Amino acid sequence: MRWLSVHPAVELAYLGSESYAGQSMNSVYPHLGRVNHVLRRFEPTEVAGAADVAMLAVPAGHGMKIAPRLLESGVKVIDFSPDFRLKRPEVYQRYYKAEHACPDLLQEGVYGLPEAHRKEIAQARLVAVPGCYPTGALIPLLPLLRADLVKHEGIVVDSKSGVSGAGRTSLELRYHFPEANEDVTAYNVATHRHTPEMEQEIGLAVNDEASVCFTPHLVPMTRGIFSTVYAPLSDDGRTTKDLIECLRSAYASDPFVVVHGEGSIPHTKATAGGNSCHVTARADERTGRAILLSAIDNLGKGLAGTAVQCMNLMFGLPETTGLEMAAAYP
């Protein structure tokens, strides 16, 4: 809402909500100041008449119920749910414990990571916004895999996330301030649902099956994901310089990826409130491993920012429209 309400090419045509129907945006979210559109109980047929594109900020299982109806009526869909991210219905079923409702649409849906699928997104009717963790891990990893600087076997992804990733409705004890503050812990070890997204996109990059050992952690901050990716160097001679040059070359014209050189390291703080992804890489020649580092705002580049970026691509707008403002450092 923060980005859409000031986006020069966007008119907010329809705001649906189950929980807050009948209330105005700024009474539910006072930070929005004078954005006082009234939320309505969601009615797909009303959207069809009102909008060119729908952004679905819904949980798993709801995207695949709503998207088909909107697409049929000519509304493009940008889905925040995980329902159209995984190309294989059986993988979806394994991780989400539910049969996929429209496996054929799975093939049409585009994985909405502009850094990997910019052209397909521009052509798409249906875009699946990637998970926040895969975005952070894949942006530094894909170019190095494609350039064969690192191997795709034996990849470890260790991510550190702010607590806002939990959303606003899950008032569990572990997100209670006195519990989460001054604490670090891991969760969903070896079982997190974002794992198959990483494996799918790595597999596509190297044209092979891939498996990833992924551990997400909760750290005591609101926004931000810092990912540390360990991948075997493909060759003993690979240096930090090689890795960074590859990243610089891959992202030379990408407006939102900032590549740090040998003397500089990404910080999540440099991304908070914006749509950037900061990355760098180091070759640990002693142990034969590349160490890739990335920082994003889990609610920015990790979710809503990428959604707006995809929308810009889908409608032929300059990719940065409405997303130009820098992070709110410090």
Tell me if 240 sits within 8 A of 282, measured CB to CB: yes
Tell me how far apart the alpha carbons of residues 208 and 225 are, in angstroms, rounded to a whole number: 28
**Residue 49 contacts its own copies per CB under 8 A:** no
Q: Which of 44, 248, 273, 315 binds its own copies (CB under 8 A)?
A: 273
Six-digit token string for 3 = 């980005």
The residue (of 120 and 179) whose beta carbon lies closer to its own copies is 179
Tell me how far apart the alpha carbons of residues 6 and 324 are, in angstroms, rounded to a whole number: 11
The residue (of 45 and 188) whose beta carbon lies closer to its own copies is 188
The residue (of 66 and 157) whose beta carbon lies closer to its own copies is 157
**Residue 314 contacts its own copies per CB under 8 A:** no
**Residue 85 contacts its own copies per CB under 8 A:** no
User: CA-CA distances (angstroms) from residue 286 to 282, 289, 326?
Assistant: 12, 8, 38
Q: Is 264 exposed, middle or buried (0-12, 13-18, 19+ CB in 10 A)?
A: exposed
Mark the segment that binds its own copies (CB under 8 A) among 12-20, 49-57, 90-98, 180-188.
180-188
Question: Considering 102, 132, 213, 277, which one is annotated as catalytic?
Answer: 132
**Residue 28 contacts its own copies per CB under 8 A:** no
Instruction: For residue 85, give the amino acid letter.
Output: R
Mark the segment that binds its own copies (CB under 8 A) among 14-22, 41-49, 201-209, 271-279.
271-279
Six-digit token string for 38 = 């009234």
User: CA-CA distances (angstroms) from residue 115 to 112, 226, 246?
Assistant: 9, 18, 14
User: Does the active-site annotation cover 277?
Assistant: no
Mark the segment that binds its own copies (CB under 8 A) among 14-22, 106-114, 122-130, 173-181.
173-181
Mark the segment that binds its own copies (CB under 8 A) among 28-36, 48-56, 100-108, 142-150.
28-36
Name residues contacting its own copies, limited to 54-83 (CB under 8 A): none
The residue (of 104 and 172) whose beta carbon lies closer to its own copies is 172
**Residue 143 contacts its own copies per CB under 8 A:** no
**Residue 286 contacts its own copies per CB under 8 A:** yes
User: CA-CA distances (angstroms) from residue 189 to 128, 193, 201, 216?
Assistant: 25, 10, 20, 7
Tell me if 268 sits within 8 A of 223, measured CB to CB: yes
Six-digit token string for 138 = 């894949």
**Residue 269 contacts its own copies per CB under 8 A:** yes
How many CB atoms sit inside 10 A of residue 216's CB? 21
How many CB atoms sit inside 10 A of residue 97's CB? 10
**Residue 272 contacts its own copies per CB under 8 A:** yes
Binding mask 216-255 for its own copies (x = CB under 8 A): -x-xxxxxx-x-x-x------------------------x
**Residue 123 contacts its own copies per CB under 8 A:** no
**Applying CB under 8 A, what is the total number of residues that bind its own copies?**
87
**Residue 190 contacts its own copies per CB under 8 A:** yes
Tell me if 80 sits within 8 A of 64, measured CB to CB: no
Question: Which residues are designated catalytic?
Answer: 132
